[in-house]
């Protein structure tokens, strides 16, 4: 099947074509992803070891982290709602 995309002009040609990443960029992305995966695995194993040795403090710490994250998300969501409401009100007045 041929490429049936319309060509609007030579100056727009590069917008319609996907640039092919070179090999070094793909290798960097792969190494980065592998490093993140390995770090996640190390953290998971560390938490499991801590949980086996000290179950109550580890569980309390995890619950505390969850609560802090939930409160942060709630505050950010509330602030975003207030900001959006004020923007809509100011746009309605103009």
pLDDT in tens, 58-86: 999 999 999 999 999 999 999 999 999 99
Co-location of 94 and 59 in the same domain: yes
* 89 in the same domain as 59: yes
In this prediction, residue 11 carries a pLDDT of: 63
- pLDDT score of 91 more than 70: yes
> In this structure, are 62 and 87 located in the same domain?
yes
Residues 61 and 94 in one domain: yes
**Coarse DSSP helix, strand, coil percentages of the chain, rounded to the nearest 5 percent:** 80, 0, 20
Could you tell me which residues come within 8 angstroms of residue 59 by beta carbon, excluding any fewer than 6 positions away? 51
Residues 47 and 61 in one domain: no
Host domain of residue 88: 55-94
44 belongs to a structural domain: yes
**Helices 55-93 + 23-53 axis angle, to 10:** 130
Q: Give the count of domains, the chain.
A: 2
What average pLDDT does this structure show over 44-54? 96
Q: What is the pLDDT of residues 6-44, one digit of tens each?
A: 556 666 666 666 677 788 888 999 999 999 999 999 999
My answer on whether 29 and 44 are in the same domain is yes
- Asked if 62 and 78 sit in the same domain, the reply is yes
């Amino acid at each position: 099947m041929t490429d049936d995309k319309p060509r609007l002009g030579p100056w727009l040609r590069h917008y319609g074509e996907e640039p092919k990443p070179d090999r070094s960029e793909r290798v960097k992305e792969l190494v980065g992803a592998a490093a993140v995966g390995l770090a996640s695995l190390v953290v998971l194993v560390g938490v499991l070891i801590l949980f086996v040795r000290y179950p109550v403090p580890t569980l309390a710490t995890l619950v505390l982290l969850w609560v802090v994250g939930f409160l942060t998300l709630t505050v950010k969501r509330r602030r975003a709602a207030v900001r959006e409401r004020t923007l809509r009100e100011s746009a309605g007045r103009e």
